[in-house]
Chains A and B, each alone.
Chain A
């Protein structure tokens, strides 16, 4: 039997704050408290978690936790779980968070629901979640029957609370950190450019219809006229390396007022990323391309002809 408390962890601090808001909601419903776990070496700023809603903050500060490694961090989470005995455990669904949550869930012999887009507690206090499934084409409503109820949640699904002046004392937990059998040989940092896709009101994107990287110039021209951000589908970024990140279920989920997909076929995975767009426009030379089904307006045509013409037409009208 667990407590009525909620424990929240993410190695990404911002996501941690977002999860605290949901945790606060659950704790209030359960008549319990929400705790944040912070892990690392030389941990600072733990008090911020109080400002974002935490009733208690556990800090595990050890040399071997300086960088995320799944087994040492699993131990840290299990230690906090042992202390808090939470009814619900929320973990940020970054790549690290997902592998961590799965290992923690296995260690606790309990279930886990991945990348939940919605969370609530049912009348019996069970955690109910909405998740994308079947490649992102559908939403699965699931319920967890075992405690602790574990769910992972991506960035920006929940909004952090407006910070208050709340204060508190962080509780330091000691941990004997196990050796990791995986040796880190090298870390090659990626320049995490902010593509600004989540906030952009207008986005134009490139799919496999583009034949050469230089042809993206056509996209840049229409982006300029529309004052749009530029994005792409997964293969363009991950396989061809023409851009760093992509739009889709495993990448950015966007919600612009206008989304223009150029040479994009419209896979289920991409569809899941653009679903919240207000208006979707597509240009694809294949009449049977799925993107046409996903669009408000579409042209079956060669993007190499249509895009420049569209850019010109828009330029004229927006003068």
Chain B
């Protein structure tokens, strides 16, 4: 039976993220958190593999107090179990520390045939955790997958690179990261959402993993000094008129008055 672990990160809902106009800092507190879009597609890919060839899917996340709620969606979609490393003391750790914590968590979870993740999460955009984990676990990696299939103990994937599509094969176990375009994730039915609450969810803190927060923080080597939205002053002029033609003329005049059409 194919045992698949999907790395899922809950991130701030980017559609609801607002920038504080005074400090220019993104207002993160209180904003709804959801599974990062590309990670969700990794989960959908796992579910389709399970539907085709059988298997078991567990999600693994490093998160906080709201992660359990966010992961209900994963369970509703089709994950069989959710594992969450929930420790406030780990907030803000970098990709190096994150991948090491994930490695320890995986050792606790046990055997797997495949680790799936999104090519990047949409909050920090690092694209590192998958390959880092593959390195730590000495696993072959297949990144930027837009098509996936498993036959026996082999995985076949089509990789989306800038200048070519590369079709590859690798023996399991392996780590695969997917691109956003691999699929459209399903929307779970109400019944599945209800069932999700009864699926096993385990939450661990650092000590459950045999780690001390100080130790983990010492692994973190990249420090965020500040986060600020760039200062962009747009005119935000709404062109209005009685008719489309009039509005179009007004807009044409505005464009030409800006002098951007010269040279």
Contacts and interface: CB of A to CB of B under 8 A. Distances in A.
Q: Do A and B bind each other?
A: yes
Interface of A: 70-71, 74, 94-96, 98-99, 101-103, 105-107, 109-115, 128, 131-146, 180-190, 192, 201-202, 226, 234, 238-239, 249, 257-258, 267-269, 275, 278-281, 292-301, 305-306, 309-310, 312-314, 316-318
Contact of A239 (B95, B140, B181, B228): B181
Interface stretch (B57-65, B82-90, B197-205, B237-245): B237-245
Contacts of A143: 222-223, 225
A279 B247 contact: no
A114 B252 CA distance: 40
9 contacts: A102-B95, A106-B136, A112-B222, A138-B229, A144-B221, A188-B164, A267-B14, A292-B238, A309-B244
Classify the secondary structure of A's interface with B.
Answer: mixed
Contacts of B94: 111
A257 B245 CA distance: 25
Nearest to A137: B229
B212 interface: no
Given A138-B229, A275-B232, A268 B17 contact: yes
Contacts of A318: 256, 261
Interface in B111-166: 122-136, 140-144, 156, 161-166
Given A102-B131, A181-B171, A185-B169, A141 B224 contact: yes
Contact of B128 (A105, A145, A186, A298): A105
**Interface core residue of A105, A131, A293 (most chain B CB under 10 Å):** A105
**Interface core residue of B19, B125, B129, B168 (most chain A CB under 10 Å):** B125
Contact of B162 (A70, A95, A136): A95
**Interface core residue of A71, A106, A275, A296 (most chain B CB under 10 Å):** A106
A113 B239 contact: no
Interface string B199-237: 000000000000000000000111111111110101111
B54 interface: no
A142 B17 CA distance: 21
Contacts of B256: 314, 317-318
Contact of B226 (A140, A192, A301): A140
Nearest to A122: B225
A267 B37 CA distance: 13
A183 B221 contact: no
B125 A136 contact: yes
B247 A309 contact: yes
Contacts of B133: 106
A319 to B, nearest CB: 12
Given A142-B222, A295-B234, A226 B261 contact: yes
B154 to A, nearest CB: 9
Given A279-B260, A309-B247, 10 more contacts: A102-B131, A110-B221, A144-B221, A181-B170, A182-B168, A188-B167, A293-B236, A295-B235, A300-B238, A313-B251
Given A103-B135, A293-B236, A306-B247, A184 B17 contact: no
Contacts of A292: 236, 238
A144 to B, nearest CB: 5
The 4 tightest CB contacts between A and B, nearest first, are A309-B248, A111-B221, A106-B135, A102-B131
